[in-house]
Structure 1
């Protein structure tokens, strides 16, 4: 059984067995849970179905958060993608629309899959739903890629963290985007080593990102960071697929992320005690929602 203590171990075991990381993870997790591989696959497929539903729900007009601070970001980006295409092209703007939509669903207290957290819930669906709905990859291949994302996420959770309250937004959106990048690489036929490189590249680019939710709510700037995470995941996946080496191994990137998170001020770790949360506008929005202290 895999211990999920290092990305290197997972890559080496997969390469030695001649398996994709997803195939290795599915086999290992099914064995640990005492169920068949097909049963476990069906459970993950249900999760992917929820991602699709959340993306669709959040792209409808009138989806406003309970606080009233955010809403319709997914709908507006979808309209923009369909009518103007966007600077990054239709696929990317549609991917951002899904990420924003799932985050909207979360803010409006809808049903989502935390991947790996609620605050970063839009990134993996934002990356994978378009590969299924727009790029016509098979549903099974897309669902299987989530096992690769999950395997890498377990290593991050073991050796660093995935919570903004512990490590800043680098630990939430950074982990989610890295997991998504690895999944994209596998979908595109990349090697296990390239999956690892994609994950590491994302962490390199998200290193030091603070968690500073305005009014303490997972809305501003969280929703827009989910869209940015999608862009980064696609970019790092493409770099890995182009054989642009990571240079610093993924495991060392994860260790660096933990070190940065440990040194980060508590004011910048989901407490709304710094960053955008304490700007004049951030304070005004807090009063708008909760009233004056």
Structure 2
């Protein structure tokens, strides 16, 4: 029953005539021995924590422990209420929620690290915002999280979800791919379409380095969460319009892993390269260490 690749996942879904989310639930039943009710309830709790983290920063000016980030989710949400957005309510809400989760994380609040703490804002903002736009119930959003988890498992099995191993492409890239695939299922797309969405997201984020200022998961991480959420939602629309990825999902995952392994250690969460060693990045590091 375990699908080690996207191709195997599609074969299983086709054979049993099930969705990706249903595959994930059945796999979890076999893997853990727990009942469907237990498994669904556990995922429902994850969704509730995600909702709390995605909403809290919209109404409260959160400050990170270091002071590097904070208060941006409130700014974005207030901007949304002014009705002056260029990209529309859905996209602005997604960005605000993604940054809210990042701010909650950086202030030592409770988040769901899905797939990682550094990318914790992408999946919640995407699922919650798409669910809201599509008038989905909490049960349907829980199913979307299962779909996302199946895609994440394949990425983890064949590549990596770790910024220290594969750069930010492995963290924010994987999160956005998981979110895009899940939203396609929410919109009525097929399992094949969900993997097209995941593939397109990964193609568009290949090579993204992990270069946190002062080694903290704050800058540029929070804004990359907002960008990842936008990528996931726009890609879902691309795929639902009929656009396909010329490069299959499995190939993009393989490429992401190879690109990550090719990156020097300075660009993999060590804070020894990229933005972390710019003049401003080093100055911010000194200010933080001097506190």
Matched-pair contact (CA < 8 Å) for 1:85–1:93:
no
Aligned counterpart, 1:132: 131
* Residues 230 and 68 (structure 1), Cα distance of their counterparts in 2 relative to 1, 3 Å cut: same
Aligned counterpart, 1:183: 182
Separation (CA, whole Å) in 2 of partners of 1:85 and 1:29: 44
Deviation of 1:136 after TM superposition, in Å, equals: 2.1
Matched-pair contact (CA < 8 Å) for 1:95–1:230:
yes
Aligned counterpart, 1:112: 111
1:59 counterpart SS class: helix
* Residues 8 and 25 (structure 1), Cα distance of their counterparts in 2 relative to 1, 3 Å cut: same
Deviations 1:224-261 (A, max 9, x none): 00000011001111111112110111000000001100
Aligned counterpart, 2:258: 259
Separation (CA, whole Å) in 2 of partners of 1:28 and 1:165: 29
Aligned counterpart, 1:71: 70
Deviation of 1:39 after TM superposition, in Å, equals: 1.3
2:129 counterpart SS class: helix
Deviation of 1:59 after TM superposition, in Å, equals: 1.6
Aligned counterpart, 1:30: 29
- Is the aligned partner of 1:233 residue 2:232? yes
Q: TM-score, normalised by structure 2?
A: 0.98
Separation (CA, whole Å) in 2 of partners of 1:98 and 1:44: 19
Matched-pair contact (CA < 8 Å) for 1:170–1:208:
yes
Aligned counterpart, 1:214: 213
Aligned counterpart, 1:80: 79
Q: CA RMSD in A?
A: 1.2
Aligned counterpart, 1:94: 93
Aligned counterpart, 1:149: 148
Separation (CA, whole Å) in 1 of partners of 2:224 and 2:65: 19
Gaps of 5+ in 2: none
Matched-pair contact (CA < 8 Å) for 1:116–1:162:
yes
Deviation of 1:133 after TM superposition, in Å, equals: 3.8
Separation (CA, whole Å) in 1 of partners of 2:142 and 2:46: 9
Deviation of 1:223 after TM superposition, in Å, equals: 0.1
- Is the aligned partner of 1:289 residue 2:288? yes
Deviation of 1:139 after TM superposition, in Å, equals: 1.1
Separation (CA, whole Å) in 2 of partners of 1:135 and 1:92: 14
Separation (CA, whole Å) in 2 of partners of 1:15 and 1:141: 21
Separation (CA, whole Å) in 1 of partners of 2:181 and 2:133: 19
Separation (CA, whole Å) in 2 of partners of 1:211 and 1:24: 32
Q: Which runs of 4+ in 1 moved over 6 A?
A: none
Gaps of 5+ in 1: none
